[in-house]
Amino acid sequence: MDKIKRILLVLILLVIVYGCYRIMIKEHDFTYTVDKYKVHEHFYIDKAHHYDITISNKKYNYTYRVDKNLSKEKAIIKNIKTFKRNNLVCIIPIYKKDIDLNIYCNLDKTQVSNDYLLKTYNNDFKLIKKKIKKYKIKFPKEYTTKTKYKKLGIFQKNILDEDNYYIWNYKGVYSLSKNKLNYKKILNYDLYDNIMATTVKNYYVLFENNSVNGIKKVYVYNNKNNNLTSFKLEKVISKDSYINGVVDNLIYVTDRREKKEYTIDIFSKKIKQVDNNLKYIIYENGIKKKVSKSDYFMEDEFFNKFIVDNKITSSRELIKVGNYYYYFENSRIYKVLDTNKKYRTLLLELEDIKEWNIYDNKIVIMANDTIYSYDDINGLRRIIKSNELKYNYKNIYKVGKK
């Protein structure tokens, strides 16, 4: 009897130890083989559970991400279905657990998004789609219905539920969401140039920088209740200032003339100078860094780097979001897993891209006279069309929360 008790105790201890081990696991890398494909699985926890998957054989590579809590399980793929027509080769991974299925394709040995194949009217993809109906895969869809509001054309159905777009209109701002279009007058005069504006949560923030004496006043527009407030800065900053970005609801602003960096809190209405033994703060790929004065003022430091007129505003070519990097080349935007640009995926192709940036894993693009949004689920979608954007777009549009 004592022997049975000891065995039971050991088993209980093993279960407890294994449970503790599972709780402590935050990341794993695991490689296995499925249907003659090599599968590399990188699991990690970053607020949510993520699996970065690379599937490869001697000719083709496919990379993608699964965002789902699978209790930290390894080897989540059980089968891989392959479909081929001419120079297009696609796979559908089949999972051990209930995960929405998707198809991943290589065109001329380069991975391309499903939306790219749809937008380019690839006939081989069209025929493969007919073969895979039983897998009930959801494909990106762009709505063409356009609503005219003032001088803007708004594709409201293409706006994601959580997003709110803002367009500055010289005296005020258009606030545009999936179910509401609004205009709010802010100034009594026209502001055409040197527009300093950003978003914090569901607030549009405008710095009044029309005076040669500097910036003294900040306007805050709440899109939820259509309320406009303002406050005066305790320290006047020079007209020659710019916004670095927003982190943890703090607006980082740099005064080029005075060589100072500030944080501004619109909720407490406080402005504080960043002073870390002559060190300045930047956020590079989401990571906080301190740099010297000489390094900081070599060029304008934007926390989110973007392309303007097909020229990158920073010496750093890749933009990192999560575990992925994004870059622009010859009217195309790619997603890659590392700085060597290995295993790249062509997401979209668009002529006359003037600016692009990434907000919450979606790409917002300014091209010709139209603002676009791209994400892997919904694809490339037109959001706002305006003839004015052909000529004046710098700092005119912003994206915030609904």
CA distance 102 to 384: 29
320 pLDDT band, cuts 50/70/90, is confident
402 pLDDT band, cuts 50/70/90, is confident
Query: Is residue 186 located within the same domain as residue 113?
Result: no
> Does the pLDDT value for residue 1 go beyond 60?
no
Query: Is residue 117 located within the same domain as residue 206?
Result: no
Order of strands across the sheet with 362-367? 147-149, 152-154, 379-385, 370-375, 362-367, 353-359
CA distance 67 to 72: 12
Q: Provide mean pLDDT across the span 209-229.
A: 93
Residue 18 lies in a domain: no
Residue 366, CB-side half-sphere exposure with 13 Å CA sphere: 25
Query: Is residue 329 located within the same domain as residue 396?
Result: yes
Q: Which residue is listed with tokens 């749809």?
A: 118
> Does the pLDDT value for residue 15 go beyond 60?
no
Q: Provide mean pLDDT across the span 18-40.
A: 78
Query: Is residue 113 located within the same domain as residue 192?
Result: no
CA distance 378 to 207: 34
Domain boundary (114, 135, 156) is at 135
Q: Supply the pLDDT for residue 48.
A: 83
Query: Is residue 185 located within the same domain as residue 261?
Result: yes
CA distance 39 to 76: 10
pLDDT tens digits along 226-285: 999 999 999 999 999 999 999 999 999 999 999 999 999 999 999 999 976 678 988 876
Taking only Cα atoms into account, the Rg of the chain, rounded to an integer number of angstroms, comes to 25
Query: Is residue 196 located within the same domain as residue 265?
Result: yes
Question: Mean pLDDT of all residues in the chain?
Answer: 88
Contact 86, 124 (CB under 8 A): yes
Give the C-alpha distances (Å, rounded to integers) separating 344 from 112, 137, 170, 356: 9, 23, 41, 18
Q: Supply the pLDDT for residue 12.
A: 64
Residue 55 lies in a domain: yes
Contact 274, 259 (CB under 8 A): no
Between 307 and 42, residue with greater pLDDT: 42
Q: Supply the pLDDT for residue 315.
A: 40
DSSP code of 395?
Answer: T
21 pLDDT band, cuts 50/70/90, is very low
The CATH number that applies at residue 284 is 2.120.10
Contact 49, 28 (CB under 8 A): no
Residue 2 lies in a domain: no
Domain boundary (135, 170, 186) is at 135
SS3 274: coil
Domain boundary (83, 106, 135) is at 135
Percent share of the chain, pLDDT over 70: 89
Q: What angle do CA 50, 249, 291 make, to 5 degrees?
A: 85
> Does the pLDDT value for residue 10 go beyond 90?
no
Residue 392 lies in a domain: yes
Percent share of the chain, pLDDT over 90: 63
Residue 142 lies in a domain: no
3-17, 66-80, 185-199, 273-287: which range is least confident on average?
Answer: 3-17
Between 33 and 50, residue with greater pLDDT: 33
Strands (E), 150-226: 152-154, 163-168, 172-176, 181-185, 196-200, 203-208, 215-222
Give 3-state DSSP helix, strand, coil % of the chain, rounded to 5: 15, 50, 40
20-34, 142-156, 214-228: which range is least confident on average?
Answer: 20-34
13 pLDDT band, cuts 50/70/90, is low
14-18, 212-216, 236-240, 258-262: which range is least confident on average?
Answer: 14-18
> Does the pLDDT value for residue 16 go beyond 90?
no
Report the length, in residues, of the chain: 402
Query: Is residue 188 located within the same domain as residue 41?
Result: no
Calculated CA dihedral for residues 119, 121, 124, 126, nearest 10 degrees: 80
Contact 182, 175 (CB under 8 A): yes
- In the chain, the number of structural domains is 2
pLDDT tens digits along 322-347: 677 888 888 999 998 777 777 899 99
Residue 115 lies in a domain: yes
Amino acid (one-letter) located at 280: Y
174 pLDDT band, cuts 50/70/90, is very high
Structural domain boundaries enclosing 253: 147-401
CA distance 233 to 235: 5
Query: Is residue 174 located within the same domain as residue 100?
Result: no
362 pLDDT band, cuts 50/70/90, is confident
Query: Is residue 154 located within the same domain as residue 121?
Result: no
Residue 140 lies in a domain: no
19 pLDDT band, cuts 50/70/90, is low
Contact 344, 336 (CB under 8 A): yes
Q: Supply the pLDDT for residue 11.
A: 65
pLDDT tens digits along 113-161: 999 999 999 999 999 999 999 999 999 999 999 999 999 999 999 999 9
Residue 6 lies in a domain: no
SS3 194: coil
Query: Is residue 157 located within the same domain as residue 299?
Result: yes
Query: Is residue 263 located within the same domain as residue 302?
Result: yes
Query: Is residue 169 located within the same domain as residue 306?
Result: yes
If 0-12 CB within 10 Å is exposed, 13-18 middle and 19+ buried, where does residue 290 land? Answer: middle
Give the C-alpha distances (Å, rounded to integers) separating 102 from 26, 95, 105, 139, 140: 26, 11, 10, 9, 11
> Does the pLDDT value for residue 14 go beyond 70?
no
